[in-house]
């Protein structure tokens, strides 16, 4: 079965610093989704990547899907306290089936 | 715009009691609907999905069941709760296969 591994598991950065979160799949990705979750709340969809080499940006968050389509990275530029939360990657693993990584907890110190 | 609602937001139930969690979607028709459980320190586990009224697919054998009585309504139920049923339950919808999902605010269930 396909698995998604995220690294690091947790991250503490000073406000203004850049950071990167990685998501590695055990199988080829046919769609990779990034979500953000605040503790005790639902997931907020950030962006979806489908094509190898694809890169998308939303405000100060950029996500890339590598050419081999087995790894994605999420990069935050000039982090702010509002970026704090849990970032999860997800992927379609079959018909109507999705899997998710265990998440990366981000804390941004003001 | 589309919105997804879940209730209740929190629930504390004794072992052996029944359960009913409700999810409704507004602003779209014939969505694919999903129930997930998120346990502490673990990722999201897909429990059920539905592609239409009355059509339910189960991913994990357990004492939970799901029903879809209306196009935009998805219900998660149990006849007798177990301690292991505690967790954060999330409902989600997607428009098509292999497209992004949109999640509800979740229900925190504690079974004592």
Task: Assign A92 a pLDDT band (cuts: 50, 70, 90).
Answer: confident
CB pairs under 8 A between A and B: 57
Band (B61; pLDDT cuts 50, 70, 90): low
Q: Which two tokens stand for residue A26?
A: 């055990």
DSSP state of B96: S
**CA-based nearest distance B106→chain A, Å:** 6
| Rounded Cα distance, B50 and A10, in Å | 34
The pLDDT value recorded for residue B96 is 85
> How far apart (Å, rounded) are the C-alpha atoms in residues A90 and A92?
7
Asked whether residue A67 carries a pLDDT value surpassing 90, the answer given is: no
User: Nearest chain B Cα to A93, which residue?
Assistant: B98
Mark yes or no for CB contact A102/B88 under 8 Å: no
Contacting B residues, span 3-32, partner chain A, CB-CB under 8 Å = 6, 32
Tell me the pLDDT tens digit for each residue of A2-42.
Answer: 899 999 999 999 999 999 999 999 988 888 999 999 988 99
Residue B6, pLDDT score: 97
pLDDT, averaged across chain B: 93
- What's the CA gap between A83 and A86, in Å, rounded? 9
Which tokens in the block code for residue B28? 């779209």
Give the pLDDT band (50/70/90) at residue B8.
very high
Cα–Cα distance for residue pair A50/A52, rounded to 1 Å: 7
């Amino acid at each position: 079965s396909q698995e998604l591994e995220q690294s690091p598991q947790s991250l503490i950065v000073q406000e203004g610093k850049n950071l990167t979160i990685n998501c590695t799949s055990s199988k080829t990705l046919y769609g990779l989704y990034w979500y953000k979750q605040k503790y005790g709340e639902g997931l907020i969809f950030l962006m979806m990547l489908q094509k190898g080499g694809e890169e998308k940006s939303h405000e100060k968050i950029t996500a890339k899907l590598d050419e081999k389509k087995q790894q994605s990275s999420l990069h935050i530029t000039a982090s702010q306290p509002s970026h704090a939360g849990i970032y999860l990657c997800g992927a379609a693993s079959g018909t109507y089936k999705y899997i998710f990584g265990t998440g990366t907890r981000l804390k941004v110190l003001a | 715009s589309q919105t997804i609602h879940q209730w209740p937001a929190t629930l504390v139930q004794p072992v052996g009691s029944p359960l009913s969690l409700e999810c409704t979607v507004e602003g779209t028709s014939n969505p694919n609907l999903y129930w997930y459980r998120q346990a502490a320190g673990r990722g999201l586990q897909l429990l059920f999905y539905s592609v239409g009224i009355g059509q339910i697919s189960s991913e994990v054998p357990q004492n939970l069941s799901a029903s879809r009585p209306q196009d935009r309504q998805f219900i998660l139920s149990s006849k007798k709760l177990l301690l292991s049923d505690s967790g954060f339950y999330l409902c989600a919808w997607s428009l098509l296969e292999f497209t992004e999902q949109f999640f509800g605010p979740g229900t925190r269930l504690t079974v004592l």
